[in-house]
Structure 1
Amino acid sequence: MSTIGHNNPLYKIVSTHYLIAGLFFLVLAGMLLFSLEALSGHYFQPKILAMTHTAALGWGSMIIFGALYQLLPVILETKLYSIKLAWASITFFVPGIVLLVYCFWIFDPGMYMQIAGVLVFTAIILFNLNVFFTVKYKKQESIFQEFIITACLWLTLTALLGLLMVFNFQYSFLQKDHLHFLRLHAHMGIAGWFLMLIIGVSAKLLPMFLISEYEKKHLLLFAYYCINAALLLFLLDGYLHGINGYTYFVWLLGVTGVCFYLFYIFRCFQSRIRKDVDLPMVKSLFSFVFLAAGILILPFILYYHLKNDAFAVNLSTLYGSLIFMGWISLLILGQTFKTLPYIVWVKHYEQLTGKVKTPLPSDLINKGLLYAQSFAFLLFLLAFISGFLFSSFTLKSIAAGSLAVTALSYFAHLIVLLLHQTKTEDYDHI
């Protein structure tokens, strides 16, 4: 993982993505704090749409882009195709997200939202080109590569449908109603982009972090085909007929795929050589509990939807929260402090290895900020889920405050790591 050296420009683009994602996380926490009432209504409303896109694009996808620029050369054992393409992508991505979120917040579905959609779509195309050309350097194919490439294709389709929906607000050329396409758009993003990408990356990295030699990749192959088949069937049947009884079968096929992947992770954990698991790794592994919880809620959403019961809307909001704020956010919070300390360590100490005694990457972590962030986020999850289950505004308020503390401590920790100065005077010369 020595692709980010002392003078390597890859460090700047990766750290910039982490920093901007942290800012968006702060914005997301602030938005939640001042719009708790919106959580009690339908998910298709301005503030919910604004928060969802802040979470999906500004927080989740932004940090995934940065992490992938760092990890892709490691996973594929090659080099990143272009730093310039990475900078071009983020140059379009950041203003596009800001403008899109603002337009959703005030709900101005006109020219500015269209410009925002074009900016975001352009950024995603540039990112995908970088990934695809990087993969071309890879001499030997792997299942990890297939997951990553497929995830990028789904991201492109998700962004394209989103762009069409933005223009449809004004020109009304789509033949079905907006909610119909919103369901397809959301699940293309969740299952196609986030799930496929996270499986591809984590299936390679988690065994490395756990020091596990479990290598039965056939489980990942089964997961790949089941999840993609389920998503394709959902999109086709969902477009033609909407939500119906057949959707239960599609859900079961997707669950089967996820179970293959989770069993692979379990076997890696079970066969690990490193028995001690640190806090960032605990959070990463625990995040999949929320993925499982979100998936298990889906048949109940289907049931109430087919009965035309309004409770389906509340469950849908809870489902989205479990996915974005439980699974994806907790995974990011855990993996940030597995990957970023190493990136910073390589910048400051790789050239000193063998010359002076240097700290370990884990020594760069501020334990106080890490525990504060972890405790605050745990409180957020408990209060937020309980607030939904018991329709308690007080619990939701506690959750919003806890998320704000989480975001502040997370961002402060990013700053501490990125401002780290090389320290050798405290270490004895070899």
Structure 2
Amino acid sequence: MMPVGTTLSRWTMSYFGAALIFLLLAESLLSAGVWAPSSPVAEPHALMIVHSMTIGWLALLMIGALLQFTPVLTGLGPSTGWLDLPCLAGSVAGLGLLLCGFELIDTGSAMAGPVMIAASSVLPVSLVSIALVLLSGLWRGRAAHAASPLVMLGIGCLAMTVALGSLFAVTVSGLTTSPGISEFVADAAPFHASFGLAGWMTFAAIGVSYKLLPMFLLSQEMKKSPFVCGTGAFAATTLGVATVSTIFEPSLGQRVFLIGSLFFQLPIAAYLAELLLTYRARRRKSLELNMSGSLPAFVLLGLSVPMFAVALVYDAGQQIFTAITYLFVFGWLTGLGLSQLLKIVPFLTWIEAFGPLLGRRPTPRLPELIKERRTMAWLCIFYLAVIASAAAIAAGSDAGFRFAVTAQTFATAALAIELVLARRLANVDPAAKQAPFQRPALFVAAKPQR
């Protein structure tokens, strides 16, 4: 993944820690029955869960990963990092304000408007600032790897997501009472979600994986990123056209959105096909935990994207769309994120703890930092629970959904505990932790490792 001696991002673990907390918050709210399949997806409590997932979990997870891996993609040194912590603090504070705003809207409080305005000020500034830092590094090193433009495309989609989200927050706050803006906000909600989930998160994840997965598999480089980026850019452009069209003619916007959804099949199909070839050509025949754990995520990506397009063509009901989105968010994005964390966190921890000791004394092997068999069992439970939860949503079963999502929450919590144990080196033989040795802090890399 990275050579020993690579500089560690000081705050990547902080982003990962905050992301996992928001993931568990969202799943705990679902387990507690705050939202159920029989409830509307646009009610304030449902929006609290949605934004805990999308901003709190997925966005912070990806930003934390990019802080570490942008130098790997570009071959350049890391940025100075002075914005990393302020932007994390601002993102968490802004998201906290946003969640409070939704709660105040639900209770009918007069404070809802000011709180939403504050959230729409703090959160976009924090996300856009750190995105510009990442974009600057990716642009300067864009020639080093063909996948860098894919991540830049994802960051462009993040900007659109933030812009639409800010408009929604201002509208909900009551700052503007224009009927036209309110109608646009209602019509454009699917575009806001699509820019965030299909654009920002999916293209950024694909871009990073084009560099990392061949490393994990000891396989040939993946070559089709220019095609994936080109078709993905066209799909994102179509989504932008749909958004603008909605201002003038909502029905036209919906038709263009359908065209973009159909075209989105191309980059996903090309990515999965090349990923399959990379798996088959690998020299590491025994898959590591993170790669075997990612296989269900790739399968659910390949299922959920065409399912969404078919649902659009046949004008399926809201429950079907919600179930497919649940598969996409939890099965593809969350499954991939959790699986790769099971490699990234132990690896970065090993680099920090034992990298300086390499060649001076025996050091533990990387797999010793995590109990792979136990962790794989929790991953299996997680994926099965996600599929069961999506099925319960499609069937409209509140009881079935609550049972399945409770199992999903417990599995996620167990995986988070495994990551903490790996970071604390709890599974490593005590003899390997004798002086000279400095235990890594839980959420912060102590200092740059060279």
Q: CA deviation at 1:346?
A: 0.3
| Aligned pairs (5 A) from 1:306-345 | 311-345=316-350
2:226 to 221, 225, 233: 221
Amino acid in the other structure paired with 2:156: L
TM-score between both structures, scaled by the size of structure 1: 0.90
Q: CA deviation at 1:367?
A: 3.4
1:210 aligns with 2:208: no
2:305 alignment partner in structure 1? 295
1:290–1:322 Cα contact (<8 Å) kept: yes
| Aligned pairs (5 A) from 1:173-322 | 173=178, 175=181, 176-215=183-222, 217=223, 219-240=224-245, 241-242=249-250, 244-245=254-255, 247-305=257-315, 311-322=316-327
Amino acid in the other structure paired with 1:121: P
User: 2-side partners of 1:117 and 1:345: how far apart?
Assistant: 39
Secondary structure, counterpart of 2:147 in structure 1: helix
Q: CA deviation at 1:82?
A: 2.3
2:134 to 127, 131, 135: 131
1:154 alignment partner in structure 2? 157
Amino acid in the other structure paired with 1:181: A
Secondary structure, counterpart of 1:44 in structure 2: coil
TM-score between both structures, scaled by the size of structure 2: 0.86
Amino acid in the other structure paired with 1:102: C
| Aligned pairs (5 A) from 1:29-178 | 29-35=27-33, 37-107=35-105, 109-135=112-138, 137-138=140-141, 140-169=143-172, 170=174, 171-173=176-178, 175=181, 176-178=183-185
1:21 alignment partner in structure 2? 19
Q: CA deviation at 1:222?
A: 1.4
1:425 alignment partner in structure 2? 431
Which deviates more, 337-346 or 252-261? 252-261
- Return 5+ residue gaps in structure 1 as ranges: 306-310
1:117–1:166 Cα contact (<8 Å) kept: yes
Amino acid in the other structure paired with 1:110: G
1:401 aligns with 2:406: yes
Which deviates more, 404-413 or 419-428? 419-428
Cα 1:274–1:420, aligned 2, differ >3 Å: closer, same or farther? same
1:382 aligns with 2:392: no
Cα 1:105–1:371, aligned 2, differ >3 Å: closer, same or farther? farther
User: 2-side partners of 1:177 and 1:314: how far apart?
Assistant: 23
- Return 5+ residue gaps in structure 2 as ranges: 107-111, 435-450
Secondary structure, counterpart of 1:229 in structure 2: helix
1:36–1:396 Cα contact (<8 Å) kept: no
Amino acid in the other structure paired with 1:425: A
Q: CA deviation at 1:336?
A: 0.3
User: 2-side partners of 1:244 and 1:130: how far apart?
Assistant: 34
Identity across the alignment (%): 22
2:258–2:313 Cα contact (<8 Å) kept: no
Cα 1:134–1:360, aligned 2, differ >3 Å: closer, same or farther? same
2:367 to 343, 346, 362: 362
Q: CA RMSD, aligned part only?
A: 2.4
1:3–1:70 Cα contact (<8 Å) kept: no
